A and B are shown apart, each in its own frame.
Chain A
């Protein structure tokens, strides 16, 4: 860049945003090159939360690895759990019984709502609307209570086991979920009252961090970030897993691919999730919770890739088995990791305040990026 283009000072200002910064959502560090307030370049430094999950997968048995995975994307622990359990089930050639499948689906969708609520809250806080955050947490709390009642933990749930789920539904589960699901769309309307039409929100999110559909695919963006760019692709529809094919729901897509579109997509996804849950809650079949399988999990030699639509995007597991009780290689395809790569492209030429908005809109979880 020619020096004459800089406005006040010929030298660029390098600001290290993070790893301790209010809105980097964890321990992300972004090295920003600034010209005044304008971002010339952004480089992400990650790995502060690296715990070697993939290595752990090689030294723990298949069953033991599940709770470790909950710590990856700790906002959407149920999704992690579901993806992994399904992968191993596929490798073993077993299917979870329908009752377990339904419970899995309900829990995963509720978890998607919690994940999106947390995203909305933090995203709003990044843009200065602090109150939305608390409202989101209020609703999130209700879901976490359901989780707690069901499996005994709120965040890192370890809800499912390979072959089904461990826990029977508790008494009053359906009522609790139903009450929540009935109220929830109204609550989403409230968030929308605060944000969707607010002029400040519009100014802050429209035309910020635009990414075209072609670029999005090239960058491997998945999940709401991809759909915000107008690509109608959701693994729940494209490659239905669990029992998603039995339910009726829409996939919201955006037009422009800016922060506002991604925001709208996620808001609509919350409604759709509630819709799926309300369909599923009345149809939970009776039956066993665990598939018939041996206690010791020894999959055949081979490899498998299975991916699900986590709230953040495509969460894939690539497992190589050598026939023992532990995976030979347990690879996780983390959606946040791949999505974060697009930050550089999205923020170039924007202001410092937009960097925060874009980080928020990507909905990253550092536990998953660094694993």
Chain B
């Protein structure tokens, strides 16, 4: 079934009864179009698109969860890209991917090529960093953002570890 893209094909395996296909990223849009339009397993519905960060390899794993209405079957397509690389957008294949990719961009900083409207979706435009990366410091960013926009010290400031209640600086920001 995947003969057409034999050069791009990495491996296919099944884990806990769920089908996974790993492919290379170069021709991802063509592959996805093929997956959508083929006759054997036409996955016309993109259930989800997300990413996983693997900082050791400096890689993102982009996961497409596809579903075929006619065959009643889920398939997971995975591809790996380096952190600095761009990947072809799937928004042209499924309209669903528009927002899903915006969210992946928002959370991971994955840059999609040819995406119609690639900007942050859940976080404010001026947010620094990408929260779902493993090397992201949530608290630091949050404190800075709150200080800049609300002009107050965030209550999260001293939320750094187990001993926060004993910390003499632990102040709840009310009163």
A370 close to B122 (CB less than 8 A) = yes
Cβ contacts under 8 Å, B103 to chain A: 337
- Indicate whether B65 reaches chain A with its CB closer than 8 angstroms: yes
Contacts of A333 in B (CB 8 A): 47-48, 50, 65
Compute how far the CA of A316 lies from the CA of B69 in the bound complex, rounded to whole angstroms: 16
Given contacts A50-B123, A333-B47, A338-B96, contact A55 B132 (CB under 8 A): yes
Q: Does B28 contact A (CB under 8 A)?
A: no
Are A220 and B122 CB-contacts (below 8 A) given A55-B131, A341-B95?
Answer: no
Are B132 and A304 in touch, CB under 8 angstroms? no
Q: Determine if A305 and B94 form an interchain contact, defined as CB atoms under 8 angstroms apart.
A: no
A305 and B74 contact, CB distance less than 8 A: yes
> Taking A47-B121, A50-B122, A54-B107 as contacts, is the C-beta distance between A341 and B96 under 8 angstroms?
yes
Q: Mark B9-26, 1 if CB is under 8 A from A, else 0.
A: 000000110101000000
Whether A203 is near chain B, meaning CB under 8 Å from some CB there, is no
* Contact present for B99 and A316 (CB under 8 Å): no
Report the Cα distance A233→B107, complex, angstroms.
Answer: 31
In the complex, which residues 114-147 of chain B have their Cβ closer than 8 Å to any Cβ of chain A? 120-124, 131-132, 138
| Complex: chain A residue closest to B93, CB-CB | A218
Contacting B94 at CB < 8 Å: which of A90, A220, A238? Answer: A220
Check if A298 is an interface residue, CB within 8 A of chain B: no
User: Is B33 located at the chain interface by the 8 A CB criterion?
Assistant: no
Alpha-carbon distance A35/B140, docked complex (angstroms):
45
Q: Tell me whether A338 and B138 are in contact (CB under 8 A).
A: no
Chain A residues near B132: list those with CB within 8 A: 54-55, 58, 329
Report the minimum CB–CB distance from A339 to chain B (whole Å): 10
> Is A243 interfacial (CB-CB < 8 Å)?
no
Interface residues on B, range: 20 to 34
Say whether A218 contacts B94, CB under 8 Å: yes
Q: Does A308 contact B (CB under 8 A)?
A: no
**Which residues of B (76-133) have their CB < 8 Å from a CB of A?**
76, 94-96, 98-100, 103, 107, 120-124, 131-132
Residue A180 lies at the interface, judged by CB distance under 8 Å to chain B: no
Q: Which residues of B contact A241 (CB under 8 A)?
A: none
Q: In the complex, which residues of chain B have a beta carbon less than 8 angstroms from the beta carbon of A150?
A: none
Asked whether, in the complex, the Cβ of B96 is within 8 Å of the Cβ of A46, the reply is no
Q: How far is it, in angstroms, between the C-alpha of A219 and the C-alpha of B95 when the chains are bound? A: 5
Residues of A within 8 A of B107 (CB): 54
Is there an interface contact between A218 and B131, defined as CB atoms closer than 8 Å?
A: no
Query: Is B34 an interface residue when CB atoms closer than 8 A count as contact?
Result: no
Would you call B69 and A231 a contact (CB within 8 A)? yes
Rounded to whole angstroms, the CA-CA distance of A252 and B167 in the bound complex is 58
Closest B residue to A301 using CB positions = B15
Q: Verify A302–B95 contact, CB threshold 8 A.
A: no
Q: Of residues 34 to 79 in A, which have CB atoms within 8 Å of B's CB atoms?
A: 46-47, 50, 52, 54-55, 58
Residue numbers of B with Cβ under 8 A of A are 15-16, 18, 20, 44-48, 50, 52-53, 63, 65, 69, 72, 74, 76, 94-96, 98-100, 103, 107, 120-124, 131-132, 138
Residues of A within 8 A of B (CB): 46-47, 50, 52, 54-55, 58, 90-91, 93, 217-220, 231, 233, 238-239, 302-305, 307, 314, 316, 318, 320, 328-329, 331, 333, 337-338, 341, 370-371
19 CB < 8 A contacts A-B: A46-B122, A47-B123, A50-B122, A50-B123, A91-B16, A93-B16, A217-B44, A218-B44, A219-B96, A303-B63, A305-B47, A316-B47, A318-B50, A320-B52, A329-B53, A333-B47, A333-B48, A333-B50, A341-B96
